[in-house]
Amino acid sequence: MNKAIAIMAATTILALTITAAAQDEGMDFTDTTTYDDSTVTTTDTSTTGGFNFPINYSDRPLTLNKHAVRGSFRVTVGGTSAPGTFSSLDFGGSFGVLEDLEVGINGYRFTSRKIFRGSTPGAGIGLIPIIVAPNGDFGDIPIYTRYSFFDESDWELAVDGVLLLPSNTDFAFTAAMPVRFTGIDDMAIDLAAEFTVVAAGGGLVDLTFPVRFTFNFTDEIFLHGASGLGFTGLSGVNAFEVPLVLGGGYSLLVKDKVLMDFVFDFGFASLVTAGAPGDTVNAGDTWYIIFGVDIWSDELF
């Protein structure tokens, strides 16, 4: 029953995205100016054209525009979640309810994809999360909301609430505060504080502080790196971990209707750990590679 509901919801979000691409609405940037009784027509060739959202990845806000949709797809391969190679296919969707309020069933929240190993999975989560290996299964379903409450002078702050429905692992809830600084040209610095409670083994608590740097070489090409500090299993295991992620992507605007990001990540969910079971470098069993596509619509109505 849960799988059927998830598939129906995914179909609905996909239909909304296709509708956005089919809409033939745009802004007219033609400016007619008269000089010496002659008419000269000039056209604004700005980066976004008729698309009301930044192409430049470093310039984007923390939430979608009102009544806009983002569809996400990720392929993850790595040794992060089980012995041997782990792989998953994750589909998700997000919707801008208001100008500063976003909701979704998605493992990817802009700037806030999980990079720590911790007590909850970083892959195999989404609206349709399909775990391919080591054992075929249906993953976990995250339902989230994000509200941006401060956006002024190159700083934007938001709050997230994420409820992880345990269709594969354990029930969990995450409260987070993402912070984005865009005061440097073509660069963004993303910080966050994330507090997660997992209903497993009498209750586990993760406290993580991710940091991400994104740099745009052009409006379309960007690179990013991420790391941070994670205190996982505070109620029992008491492990300390440091991840490392490097990646980038290419943004493509299609006919001023749909914006597509093609992204790639290579990283280590727990490159270094301290505490139980000891101080180790875990490059061998926490590596992962991610290929993904994000599809952003303009305002649907």
Cα–Cα distance, 205 to 215 (Å, whole number): 33
pLDDT band at 270 (very low <50, low <70, confident <90, very high): confident
CB 99 within 8 A of CB 120: no
* pLDDT, tens digit, 9 for 90 and up, residues 12-51: 444 444 343 444 444 343 444 444 444 433 333 334 557 8
Q: How many Å apart are CA 139 and CA 128, to the nearest integer? A: 8
User: What integer pLDDT is reported at residue 136 of this predicted model?
Assistant: 83
Q: Report yes or no: 263 and 247 within 8 Å, Cβ to Cβ.
A: yes
What pLDDT is attached to residue 67? 95
Query: Residue 241 carries which side chain, given as an amino acid letter?
Result: E
Tens-digit pLDDT profile for residues 127-178: 999 998 878 889 999 999 999 999 998 999 999 999 999 888 889 999 999 9
Single-letter residue type at 31? D
Cα 130 to Cα 74: distance, rounded to the nearest angstrom: 10
Give the pLDDT of residue 235: 57
Beta carbons of 243 and 283 less than 8 angstroms apart: no
37-51, 63-77, 97-111, 127-141 — which is least confidently predicted? Answer: 37-51
The answer for residues whose C-beta is within 8 angstroms of residue 193's C-beta and 6 or more apart is: 176, 177, 207, 208, 209
In degrees and rounded to multiples of 5, residue 27 shows phi and psi of -100, 140
- In whole angstroms, what is the distance from residue 86 CA to residue 288 CA? 9
Q: Where are the alpha helices (DSSP H) in the chain?
A: 2-22
The domain 2-297: what is its CATH number? Answer: 2.40.160.40
pLDDT digits (tens, 9 = 90+) for 184-216: 999 999 999 999 998 876 678 889 999 999 999
Q: What is the value of pTM for the model shown? A: 0.78
Q: Are strands 221-232 and 155-165 parallel, antiparallel or unpaired?
A: unpaired
User: What span, in angstroms and rounded, lies between the C-alpha atoms of 166 and 124?
Assistant: 11
Phi and psi at residue 20, to the nearest 5°? -60, -40
Domain boundaries, the chain: 2-297
Q: Which residues contact 191 (CB under 8 A, 6 or more apart)?
A: 178, 179, 181, 209, 210, 211
Give me the chain's average pLDDT, please: 81
Higher-confidence position of 233 and 9: 233
- Note the pLDDT of residue 82: 52
Q: How many H helices and E strands in the chain? A: 1, 17
Mean pLDDT (whole number) for 85-97: 92
